[in-house]
Structure 1
Amino acid sequence: MKLPEVFKYRGREVYKIKNNLIHYGRPNDKFIAVLVVLGTEEYKGYKISSPLSVELQINNPKLTVKERVVKKGEADNLYKALELAHVWLTQANGE
């Protein structure tokens, strides 16, 4: 079985940019979410991302990072971070 090239969560793409940086959202949308893994913990022999910083950003590379950030939050795990980002993106992109 071949794995999909892009992982999707609730219809939006999830890209791992660096070891601790994850982009979530559609490339053509006005807003995207950026998740930053702040730490990891062991659970049953696996490394689990915890906690994570969540940022809602304007999807415009011409702006500085500070200018792009619209909202900031924090989540205990990846699932909660993606859920928070999904709600923010749905509201911000008018879906």
Structure 2
Amino acid sequence: MTIFVLAFDIKDKQVSTEKYERLKAELLNLNAHEVQSSLWAVNLNNTAKDIIDHFSNYLSTNDRLWVSAVRVNHYQYRGALSGTNNWFTFNKN
């Protein structure tokens, strides 16, 4: 499995709450962890393209989504949300 980070930007503010809740529910269903606002980490047996394709179903065409693999021991963070250290420790490959 590979740890990926997903960053998204929902552009349509009128429907952003509804979209975000659907997206968040799917991320939680996949045992993802919110690292910062609109930045999530998830551990999956997929490619970045697979993940983009999947989560595009939850976003409009003008929304933004970035997916990138995280290499173990090649990341640092500061000020992440509660539980981030535990999530990365548990999900290291």
Give the TM-score of the pair, scaled to structure 1: 0.27
Q: Which protein has the bigger helix share?
A: 2
Pick 1 or 2: higher relative contact order, CA cutoff 8 A, min separation 6: 2
Give the TM-score of the pair, scaled to structure 2: 0.27
Q: Which protein has the bigger strand share?
A: 1
